Amino acid sequence: MAERKSAAPKDEAQQEVQQVVDEAEDKGYIGVPVDPTPKENYTVAGVLAGKPTPETDADHAREVRQQLDDADRQR
């Protein structure tokens, strides 16, 4: 199990919830980016500079889809 940054929950209900969240994180259900495209590509400056997004560049969309598929296979 990965090292947790938060302090240990104090009561039984908090511990139970924390355990479920920790298990989901360990399985990769939480915290996995949906689109690895840098956020700055979606800004006005990024669009005007021609930075690719999956919505504007078919090649970039294929790359993103491949990255997401590879991440799914690793889980």
pLDDT tens column, 55-70: 999 999 999 999 888 8
37 CB neighbour count, 10 Å cutoff: 21
pTM of the model as a whole: 0.53
Are 8 and 25 in contact by the 8 Å Cβ rule? The answer is: no
Are 58 and 65 in contact by the 8 Å Cβ rule? The answer is: no
pLDDT digits 0-9 by tens, 9-59: 678 999 999 999 988 887 767 776 678 899 999 999 999 999 999 999 999
Dist. CA 35–CA 37, nearest whole Å: 5
Are 20 and 14 in contact by the 8 Å Cβ rule? The answer is: no
